[in-house]
Structure 1
Amino acid sequence: MSDALDDGPFFHGTKADLRIGDLLTAGFRSNYRPEVVMNHVYFTALRDGAGLAAELAAGEGLPRVYTVEPTGAFEDDPNVTDKKFPGNPTRSYRSTEPLRITGEVTDWPRLTPEALRAWRDRLAALRADERGEIIN
C-alpha cells in the first residue's frame, strides 16, 4: 500500500535499453550525484518529467521513456516535494521496491541542445553546492 495519492500511469526516464517485464531496481549510482548509490528507484506520473530524466541520465545510450508499474509501496520523492515543490506538483515518486517495465513511450518532447546544456549546467552547479544533497 502506498501513501501517495496518485494512480498513474507512471513513467521512468533512462538511457538503458529495457524490455517489457524487466525490473528497475534500486542500488545504482545517481544521475545527479554519481558518487551516491541510490536506495530507491524514482519515477513520475508526468511523461515529460520522465523525458527530462531520460535526457539527463548517465550513459551513452539513447534517452528512453518507459511506462512502469510499482511492485510495492512508494512515496512522494522528498528531493523535490519537500525541498522545492510542496504538494508534489511534479508528481514525482520513489520506491525501495522494483518497478516493472510495461511499455515504451516514443512521443515525448525532446530538449534542444541548448536546453540540455542549460540543464547540465544547473546540475553541475548543484553538485558544487553542498545544499544540493540528495535525500537517499
Structure 2
Amino acid sequence: MSATASTFAQSFFHGTRADLKPGDLIAVGHQSNFTDVAPLSWVYCSATLDAAIWGAELAAGSGRERIYVVEPTGPIFDDPNVTDKKFPGNPTLSYRSRDPLRVIGEVINWQAHSPERLQQMKDGLAALKAAGRDLIID
C-alpha cells in the first residue's frame, strides 16, 4: 500500500460525558460544558488530545468522561474563545463548526489531569463566572 495524503489526515477529538457510538453525530444545539448560556450554535473539536481531555473533565453531567475521535462533516474554523482571548495563533488546535461532527471511535486509554490541576481549572472557571466574564463567543 502506498502512502497518500489521506493516510496522514489530521485527527480531531471531542471530550464529553455523552455515551456515543461510531456513526453518531454531535450536532449544534447543546449546552456548553463551561457556562450556563443558551444552547450553542457551534460544535467544538480539537486536534490535541489535551484540549479534549479538558472538555471531558469539565463536561456537565454525571456520565463517564469520554473522548471521541470525530470527523467534521463540514468546514471548521479556529475557536475564537481560546485563539483570540487566551492563545493567539491557536496552539491548542481548537476548532468549531456549524455542521455536525461524526463519531469515528473512542479514545480509551488517556491520562486525566491531576486532581489538583483539575481543581485549579474549575476554580478559574468559577472566578470567571463570578466576575461575569464566562462568556462564549457564539
Provide the TM-score with structure 1 as the length reference.
0.90
Q: Please list every run of 5 or more consecutive structure 1 residues that lacks an aligned counterpart in the other structure.
A: 1-6
Decide which of 111, 118, 121 is 2:120's aligned counterpart: 118
Out of 52-61 and 123-132, give the one that drifted further. Answer: 123-132
Distance 1:106 1:123 in 2: 27
- Tell me the SS of whatever aligns to 2:30: coil
Letter in structure 2 aligned against 1:104: E
1:1-136 equivalent positions in 2, closer than 5 A: 8-136=10-138
Residues 32 and 127 of structure 1 are in contact (CA less than 8 Å); yes or no, is this contact kept in structure 2?
Answer: no
Letter in structure 1 aligned against 2:77: E
How many residue pairs end up in the alignment?
130
Distance 1:53 1:131 in 2: 19
| Shift of residue 96, structure 1, vs aligned partner | 0.5
Out of 105-114 and 14-23, give the one that drifted further. Answer: 105-114
Q: What value does the CA root-mean-square deviation take over the aligned residues?
A: 1.2
Give 4+ residue runs of structure 1 displaced > 6 Å after superposition: none
Residues 74 and 94 of structure 1 are in contact (CA less than 8 Å); yes or no, is this contact kept in structure 2?
Answer: yes
**Would the alpha carbon gap of residues 36 and 128 (structure 1) be closer, same or farther in structure 2, given more than 3 Å must change?**
farther
Provide the TM-score with structure 2 as the length reference.
0.89
Distance 1:31 1:21 in 2: 22
Percent identity (aligned): 55
- Tell me the SS of whatever aligns to 1:89: coil
